[in-house]
């Protein structure tokens, strides 16, 4: 029992020492990018709706109307599944282009999850929530 408690405490301490999302470098992330046929605010609203339907992650989002951009930070849920932990998973930028389309950039911290998350969240931005039932990658998935 003491061993489990020590392992749990060590894990929490290590998680607390993780680099905060705001301090990540672009080169620290694995990127997915797609230009979609929607305005930035539509893409933001669709992502927001997708994250509300998908309770696997905690998130913080901001829409910047004056810049025609949006931003999300995605986190692991905390131990009690009541909100975000300090462990960041990904960052998403939504940028309105001059032609009326929107660029969606998804930077994921973990290479094993980058492709899965990138495709899933780009689908959210396009208004496609069918991936909500897709299984998450496991440790054995490469």
pLDDT in tens, 69-128: 999 999 887 766 566 667 888 999 999 999 999 999 999 988 777 888 889 999 999 999
Q: Give me the pLDDT at residue 139, please.
A: 53
CA–CA gap between residue 87 and residue 72 (Å, rounded) = 14
- For the chain, give the mean pLDDT: 81
Give residue 14's pLDDT band: very low, low, confident or very high (50, 70, 90).
very low
Please state the rounded mean pLDDT for residues 22-27. 84
The yes-or-no verdict on residue 66 having pLDDT over 90 is: yes
Q: Is 124 left (phi over 0), alpha (psi -120 to 50) or beta?
A: alpha
In this structure, are residues 69 and 47 in contact, taking their beta carbons and an 8 Å threshold?
A: no
Whose CA is closest to 65, among 36, 85, 98, 39? 39
In this structure, are residues 112 and 136 in contact, taking their beta carbons and an 8 Å threshold?
A: no
The yes-or-no verdict on residue 8 having pLDDT over 50 is: no
Contacts of 72 by beta carbon, 8 Å cutoff, 6+ apart:
47, 51, 59, 60, 61, 91, 92
Residue with more model confidence, 115 or 36 = 36
Whose tokens are 């301490």? That residue is: 13
Residue 72 Cα distances to 51, 81, 107, angstroms: 10, 19, 10
Polymer length in residues for the chain: 142
Q: What is the pTM of this model?
A: 0.78
Residue spans of the domains in the chain: they are 21-133
Give residue 4's pLDDT band: very low, low, confident or very high (50, 70, 90).
very low
The angle formed by the CA atoms of residues 67, 90 and 102, to the nearest 5 degrees, is 35
Supply the CATH classification number for the domain 21-133: 3.30.310.80
The yes-or-no verdict on residue 56 having pLDDT over 90 is: no
Q: Give me the pLDDT at residue 79, please.
A: 65
Q: Are strands 57-64 and 69-77 parallel, antiparallel or unpaired?
A: antiparallel
């Amino acid at each position: 029992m003491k061993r489990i408690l020590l392992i749990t405490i060590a894990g929490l301490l290590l998680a607390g020492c993780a680099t905060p999302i705001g301090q990540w470098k672009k080169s620290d992330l694995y990127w997915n990018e797609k230009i979609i046929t929607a305005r930035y605010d539509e893409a933001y609203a669709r992502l927001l709706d997708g994250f509300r339907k998908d309770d696997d992650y905690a998130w913080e989002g901001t829409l910047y109307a004056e810049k025609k951009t949006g931003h999300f930070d995605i986190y692991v849920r905390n131990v009690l599944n009541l909100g975000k932990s300090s462990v960041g998973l990904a960052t998403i930028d939504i940028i309105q282009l001059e032609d009326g389309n929107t660029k969606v950039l998804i930077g994921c911290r973990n290479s094993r999850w980058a492709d899965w998350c990138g495709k899933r969240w780009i689908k959210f931005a396009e208004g496609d929530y069918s991936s909500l039932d897709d299984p998450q990658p496991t440790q054995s998935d490469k």
